[in-house]
A and B are shown apart, each in its own frame.
Chain A
Amino acid sequence: MLTIRNITRIFNKGTINEKIALNGVSLELAKGDFVTVIGSNGAGKSTLLNAVAGNFSVDAGEIFIEGTNVTKLPQHKRAEFISRVFQDPMLGTAASMTIEENMVMARRRGHHRRLRKAITSKDRTVLMQELKKLGLGLEARLTNRVSLLSGGQRQALTLLMATLQTPKLLLLDEHTAALDPKTADKVLELTRSVAEASHLTTFMVTHNLEHALNIGNRTIMMHEGRIILDISGDERAGMTIEGLLEMFGKASGKHLVNDKMLLA
Chain B
Amino acid sequence: MSWQILSGTLEQGLMYAVMVVGVYLTFRVLNYADLSVDGSFTLGAAIAATLIVSGYNPWLATGAAFAGGVMAGIFTGVLHTKFKITPLLSGILTMTALYSINLRVMGKANISLLNTRTIFTDFTKLPFLEDYSVMVLSLVTVIIIGFFVYRFLLTEVGLALRATGDNELMIQSQGVNIEIMKIMGLAISNGLVAFAGSYVAQNQQFADAGMGIGMIIAGLASVIIGEVLIGTSSIGRTVAAVIFGGVMYRVIIALVLQMGLKPTDLKMVTAFIVIIALVSPGIKNKVFSLRDRAGAVKGESHADNP
Residues of A within 8 A of B (CB): 53, 74-77, 79-80, 82-84, 86, 90-97, 101, 104-106, 108-111, 113-119, 148
Do A114 and B162 have beta carbons less than 8 Å apart? Answer: no
Bitwise, B174-186 to A at CB < 8 A (1) or not (0) is: 1111100000000
| Shortest Cβ gap from B232 to chain A (Å) | 9
Do B171 and A94 have beta carbons less than 8 Å apart? Answer: yes
Counting CB contacts under 8 A, is B215 at the interface? no
Q: Please name the residue on chain B nearest to A144 by beta carbon.
A: B306
| Shortest Cβ gap from B203 to chain A (Å) | 32
| Shortest Cβ gap from A8 to chain B (Å) | 24
Q: Can you list 26 A-B pairs with a CB-CB distance of less than 8 A? A: A53-B173, A77-B175, A79-B176, A80-B175, A90-B167, A93-B170, A94-B163, A94-B167, A101-B159, A105-B156, A105-B159, A105-B160, A108-B174, A108-B175, A109-B174, A109-B175, A113-B157, A114-B156, A115-B156, A116-B155, A116-B156, A117-B154, A117-B155, A118-B154, A119-B154, A148-B306
Residues of B within 8 A of A (CB): 151-152, 154-160, 162-163, 166-167, 169-178, 306
- Neighbour of A97 across the interface among B151, B156, B163, CB < 8 A: B163
Could you say which of B157, B158, B167, B171 has the most chain A C-beta atoms within 10 Å of its C-beta? B167
Do B154 and A113 have beta carbons less than 8 Å apart? Answer: no
Interface SS, B side: helix
Give the chain A neighbours of B167 by CB distance below 8 A: 90-91, 93-95
CA of A83 to CA of B178 in the docked complex: distance in angstroms? Answer: 17
Q: How many inter-chain contacts with C-beta < 8 Å in the A-B complex?
A: 86
| Shortest Cβ gap from A108 to chain B (Å) | 6
Given A91-B167, A96-B166: A104 and B156 within 8 A (CB)? yes
- Neighbour of B178 across the interface among A76, A91, A93, A106, CB < 8 A: A76
CA of A82 to CA of B156 in the docked complex: distance in angstroms? Answer: 20
Do B162 and A97 have beta carbons less than 8 Å apart? Answer: yes
Given A76-B176, A79-B174: A96 and B162 within 8 A (CB)? yes
Give the chain A neighbours of B163 by CB distance below 8 A: 94, 97, 105
Given A104-B156, A114-B155: A92 and B170 within 8 A (CB)? yes
Given A76-B176, A77-B175, A79-B174: A86 and B169 within 8 A (CB)? yes
CA of A93 to CA of B167 in the docked complex: distance in angstroms? Answer: 7
CA of A119 to CA of B159 in the docked complex: distance in angstroms? Answer: 10
